[in-house]
Chain A
Amino acid sequence: MKHEIVEKQGASIVVFKGEIDLDSSPAARKTLLRCSDNTGNVIVDLSGVTYIDSSGVASLVEALQAAKKNGSLLSLAAVSEPTRRVLELARLDKVFTIYGSVDEALAGKG
């Protein structure tokens, strides 16, 4: 798994690529929580994620809860098909705010 963080229009855009599994989810979790601890909103770009398991999803959920606590928003953008499937199965697709693209997420926020 690879990740990068881009700051844009006052939001942190976290871009994940590759597989988020038990091996890589601790790193993903760390990144997500760091961004969520900031006051700005967080957009997680999942377009390049080819696989995510429950530990990865758990990291997303934890970050969402942390963001809420801080009064900021965490949304998902450009969710890849494998990720969407897991979120569906986990019944979490309605819990997250999901945008078609990062730009939409930025606009939606505005």
Chain B
Amino acid sequence: MANLPPGGDRRSPQVFDRRRTTMVSGHLELLSKMSGHLAVTLNLDETIQKALDLIVKFVQAEGGALFLLEEKYGTLLCKASAGPVDIRGIRVKIGEGIVGHCVTENTSRIVRDVQQDADFDHTIDESTGFQTRSIVCTPMIVNGQKIGAIELVNKHTDDGLFSDTDLLMLQTLASAAALAINNAHMAEELVEQERVSRELELATEMQRSLLPVTPTDRFPVAGINLPANEMSGDFYDFFVLEDGRIYFSLGDVSGKGMDAALLMSKTASLFRCLGKTILEPNVLLATINRELCETAIHGMFVTMACGLLDPKTGIVELANAGHEPPLIHARDGTFTALPASAPPLGIMSLQAGDNGIREETFNLDGGTLYIFTDGVTEGCLEDGSRLEQTGFQDIMRERCDLPIAARIKAVVSILSDTGRKRHDDITLLAIEDTRPELRHHASGDWPRMVARFTFPARADALQSVREVVNDACETCGCVTEDATDIIIAVGEACQNIVRHAYKGLDEGDATLEIYCEDGILEFRLQDSARPIDREKMQPKWPKELGPGGLGICLIHDIMDKVEYLPPPEGQGNLLRMVKFIKRKNSNET
């Protein structure tokens, strides 16, 4: 309620009533005008200024100011000002000055002579040169919440005094203004929220764009990342070097917020940039560590594993700094964990080498290497239990015939389709030795058989074998140079059967099967002789000139892969030879 004005209202009741009627109709008009204005603007500053201008004009004040409460600081900030002096930006402490008292006490006031009022703060007049005589002031309240106050100064009438009617008017208008300000405030917050979420969307999109795209289904590396929130603190990446090797990495940044996401982006960029020139994974990790330490964010670190796969040989060089042990799933079905040799990156100086970040070199030999973040092993299953490494191994074991991309996708599906809220990002990287010669014939229709030829193990049969091989090479579009070499190698292998397996006794047959797929020729030569001593079948270049073992050396020189397989019927010998061929039509791959 308004305080009683010190001098009372000296006007006659009739005049007051007439004025009041006029005022009330004008008041309604103003309210409607204000609502119209305020409805079209959702800009807070504009709303405030417009509301104040209208009020000052209608109440016929010389000037006015609108203050908004800054609860955090216990101050009122002048956001709009009307009249001869602009006092926007001035701050008044709550409980000080007339406006400060109005807000603290939640009351309106008419002060007819400010010089008589102990609460009046002279400092603003002193600094602006304005002379305040009278004041009417009311707090702005929305839903019981104080949001500020409106103060009008010096009525434009003969006596220069504000009346109770003016106060009533101001209170009504202040309520409308408060509502409008509140709406504008909410609108601004909404816009801000929208902006933040749009920026988050862009950041998410940008972060996703840092993840590599798998070139083909048969590419030996595949990765997947499913963030728990919009931004992820995990990352993986891979790219092909000029020499054909594939650099791959996976990392997990401590923490989960935007700071983790930014550190993730930084680390991923360092990997991609430095990886082009630093071709030793442990040296690369040590270098990234140095960079991260130089610009360390206190308490944040990165666990990271990175390595190189040579798809031609299956050899992997791997370095691991503090990351959860990667798993090798070997062709025989066993799993081997490779624990980290060094602490996470970004904490302390680390050297590449035996005393720091070590490098492990191993041959995948047809197996798969899995690198993953703890979001995988600590991920929850439908029954609430954790997946753990054993669960992970089971998933992979059951799906070892699927392409790697499908395998890692299965893990993510199992962990994300539980209906439970996930708390951690799920990130997985699979690196497979996909050399075609390691594939099992049983799975799928690979490879295509182009010839099958059974011949007596006799020297005079070798010419016809060569003709069969020559035709097969022709069928597969093999270039002449390769065909010449292949004929030599297969010829030598057949010769060995005649000379060594059957010891030159014409007592058995041999069968040659030729398969062709994607620039690869595979030969399977089966005899039914007694098992040969494989040790003797290893290539040993004679130190001195001599013909011994020359055929075996030629086979190994020409073929890309030579091995003895267990014969299907349990007897005889089965020699498998694989050759990557160049094709006559270079457009074919």
Residues of A with Cβ closer than 8 Å to B?
19, 21-23, 51, 53-55, 57-58, 61-62, 65, 81-82, 85-86, 89-92, 95
Known: A53-B551, A62-B547, A91-B541. A19 touches B463 (CB 8 A): yes
CA A22 – CA B546 in complex, angstroms? 17
* Contact (A90, B550) CB under 8 Å given A21-B495, A54-B492, A95-B545: yes
Q: How far in angstroms is the closest Cβ of chain B from A74?
A: 13
22 chain-A/chain-B pairs, Cβ below 8 angstroms: A19-B463, A19-B466, A21-B466, A21-B491, A22-B462, A22-B498, A23-B459, A23-B462, A23-B463, A51-B466, A53-B491, A53-B551, A54-B550, A54-B551, A57-B547, A58-B550, A61-B546, A62-B547, A81-B484, A85-B485, A89-B488, A92-B545
Cβ of B369 under 8 Å from chain A: no
Query: Main SS of chain B's interface residues?
Result: helix
Return the chain A residue nearest B553 by Cβ.
Answer: A90
CB of B332 to closest CB in A, whole Å: 34
Given that A51-B487, A85-B484, A90-B554 are known contacts, is A22 also in contact with B547, CB under 8 Å in the complex? no
| Nearest neighbor of A59 in chain B, beta-carbon distance | B547
- Nearest B residue to A62, CB-CB: B547
A23 and B485 alpha carbons, distance in the complex (Å): 19
* Residue B91 at the chain A interface, CB threshold 8 Å: no
Give chain B residues whose Cβ lies under 8 Å from the Cβ of A61. Answer: 545-547
Q: Does B557 contact A (CB under 8 A)?
A: yes
Known: A54-B554, A57-B547, A89-B488. 4 other contacts (CB 8 A): A19-B466, A22-B459, A51-B491, A54-B550
CB of A23 within 8 A of CB of B460, answer yes
Residue of B nearest to A64 (CB): B545
Measured CB to CB, the closest approach of chain A to B254, in angstroms, equals 57
B537 CB to closest chain A CB (Å) equals 14
- A65 touching B553 by the CB < 8 A rule? no
Interface size bucket, B side? Answer: 20 to 34
Query: Nearest-CB distance from B28 to chain A (Å)?
Result: 107
- Give the docked Cα–Cα distance between A81 and B483 (Å): 13
The chain B residues found within 8 Å of chain A, CB to CB, are 459-460, 462-463, 466, 484-485, 487-488, 491-492, 495, 498-499, 541, 545-547, 550-551, 553-554, 557-558
For B551, the chain A residues whose CB sits under 8 A away are 53-55
Q: B364 to nearest A CB, angstroms?
A: 30
Cα A20 to Cα B463 with chains together (Å): 10
Chain A nearest Cβ from B488, distance in angstroms:
6
Q: Give the nearest-CB partner of A61 in chain B.
A: B547
List residues of chain B with CB within 8 A of the CB of A81: 484
A51 and B287 alpha carbons, distance in the complex (Å)? 56
A53 CA to B495 CA in the complex, in Å? Answer: 9
Nearest Cβ distance between residue A17 and chain B, in whole angstroms? 15
CB contacts (< 8 Å) of B492 on chain A: these are 53-54
Report whether B491 and A65 are in contact in the complex, using a CB–CB cutoff of 8 Å: no
Nearest residue (CB) in A for B550 is A54
Q: Would A22 and B495 be within 8 Å (CB), given that A53-B551, A54-B550, A86-B488 are in contact?
A: yes
Measured between C-beta atoms, what is the minimum distance from A24 to chain B in Å?
A: 8
Assembly CA distance A95 to B553 (angstroms): 17
A-side contacts of B546, CB under 8 Å: 61
Contacts of B541 in A (CB 8 A): 91
The answer to whether B557 and A54 touch across the interface, beta carbons within 8 angstroms, is no
Q: Roughly how many angstroms separate A93 CA and B537 CA in the complex, as a whole number?
A: 24
| B459 and A82 contact, CB distance less than 8 A | no
Give the residue name and chain of the B residue nearest to A95 (CB). Answer: B545
- For B462, the chain A residues whose CB sits under 8 A away are 21-23, 53
Residue of A whose beta carbon sits closest to that of B494: A22
A89 to chain B: which residues have CB within 8 Å? 485, 488, 554, 557-558
